[in-house]
Amino acid sequence: MTGMLVRAREEARPLALGPLRTSPITVLDVGSTKVGCFIARPRASRGFSLLGRGYQLAQGIDRGDIVDAGAAEESLLAAVHEAEQQAGETVRDVVLVTGAGRPRCRLVRLEHRLGGLPVRGDRLQRLFREGAQAAAQDGEEVLHVVPVELAVDDGRPVRDARGMRGERLSAWLAVVTVQARALDRLMTCLERCHLRVAEVVAAPYAAGIAATTEEEADRGCLVLDFGGGLTTFAHFAEGRLAYLDSVPYGGVHVTGDIAYGLSTSREYAERLKTLHGSAVCRALDDDARLMVPQIGDGPEAPAAEVPRAQLTRIIRARVEEILEFVQEKLRAQQELFDRKPPRSMVLTGGGAELDGLEELVEEMFGVPVRRGRPDLVYSRHGVENEPALAAASGALSLALGDDDGLSWSGLREEGGLMAWFGRFTRWLSRNF
């Protein structure tokens, strides 16, 4: 198994970013089509005040993974510089939220002998470290370990077992892993940008933290995050993460289908999707016509008149396929979803803005569906509640330790020469 450090964040202990509750926090959101940098300061009451943000197209990045280091560095640096200019801050430490390395989750059951002693933080730390070691396979890195259930002896599962006495502590753990090489490439790229990663957060986990209400997370809620190249999902039950996974398809594949099906450019296909796209057929679609420029040379390229219903059929076919892949992944975890089924669903990510998506998801999954609008970040214009900001907003919250002290992270080394040396030795072990 690859090098890995699992640390318990006891009693919501802040991460290695310094005094987070007074200092600005920087979140770097690395997605399939865009890179976003957000600098925010915790508010005295709830949420964060946005100090600066920057957006760039994700050049050299595919599904969060680095495919062209030079182009990726330019995109990352440009996004960070834009945010720095707005905030009047110089960024050194960042919380990285991403779908790089295809985050996935394994469920692990473990027991720990108590011998009549109370459950303490150090005992939980050992238990979660064992869970991480049991779940991670060669070539994987652990990002999160979250207890789905904790129980002492034969008692009922409890949300927090700390302080309880007994002979045996049982745990059902959700262990989130990613492909280590993909994460290493991204972190090495950030290091060349003179940025130090203090925490890595799986994007679907963060999106769910920001977009679900307390009641939804308690009752059972499945969060679908529709990105450009990935659709990720996270299931929350009894107030915390219970499962997550991803499928390698997203908005760029919908755009590609439109371009191919209507014989137009990808640029115009994206415009059609944004302005006229829908996942469900409307009553007037058959009467509506769209003028679509065909692929050709120069300004005299021909245009075709296309029924809007044809555009809808193309979009619906691809979105249905993506949702069927998600359902297939969920069926593979039948025990979990039989015991903790989703009572509702929340849609996040840039693709969640697609017209008719809520209706289609509700039709296929049979539970109430809404579009998630995070309400944690405030700017001078009001609440920054676009679905595409859910992952970044949730990463800010997790960086503060707002998880009841019951989430554990596999952290990278915290900086300096030892950090570089640790990553370098892991790179050698994987490649030679």
CATH number for 159: 3.30.1490.110
The pLDDT, as a whole number, for residue 298 is 59
Print pLDDT tens along the chain (432 aa). 333 333 333 333 333 443 445 789 999 999 888 999 999 999 988 899 999 999 999 999 988 789 999 999 999 999 999 999 999 999 999 999 999 899 999 999 998 888 888 888 778 878 888 888 888 888 899 999 999 988 898 888 887 888 888 888 888 999 999 999 999 999 999 999 999 998 899 999 999 999 999 999 999 999 999 999 999 999 999 988 999 999 999 999 999 999 999 999 999 999 999 999 999 987 666 678 898 998 865 566 688 889 999 999 999 999 999 999 999 999 999 999 999 999 999 999 999 999 999 999 999 999 999 999 999 999 988 899 999 999 999 999 988 876 555 556 655 333 333 333 344 444 444 444
Helix (H) or strand (E) holding 243: strand 240-247
Asked if residue 123 belongs to a domain, the reply is: yes
The pLDDT, as a whole number, for residue 297 is 56
Asked if residue 200 belongs to a domain, the reply is: no
Q: How far apart are CA 228 and CA 62, in angstroms?
A: 9
The pLDDT, as a whole number, for residue 299 is 62
Amino acid sitting at position 67: V
Q: Is residue 179 within 8 Å of residue 140, measured between CB atoms?
A: yes
Asked if residue 347 belongs to a domain, the reply is: no
C-alpha dist (Å) from residue 275 to 50, 130, 308, 314, 372: 29, 50, 11, 15, 21
Asked if residue 282 belongs to a domain, the reply is: no
Asked if residue 394 belongs to a domain, the reply is: no
Range of the domain at 155: 103-178
Asked if residue 153 belongs to a domain, the reply is: yes
Beta strands across the sheet bearing 34-42: 196-202, 93-98, 25-30, 34-42, 48-57, 377-379, 382-383
The pLDDT, as a whole number, for residue 155 is 82
Domain count, the chain: 1
Furthest-apart CA pair in the chain: how many Å? Answer: 83
Asked if residue 201 belongs to a domain, the reply is: no
C-alpha dist (Å) from residue 131 to 158, 289, 330: 18, 57, 22
Q: What is the CA radius of gyration of the chain?
A: 22
pTM: 0.86
Q: How far apart are CA 131 and CA 8, in angstroms?
A: 12
C-alpha dist (Å) from residue 19 to 16, 41, 92: 9, 11, 14
Asked if residue 145 belongs to a domain, the reply is: yes
Pick left, alpha or beta for residue 208 (phi over 0 → left; psi -120 to 50 → alpha; otherwise beta): alpha
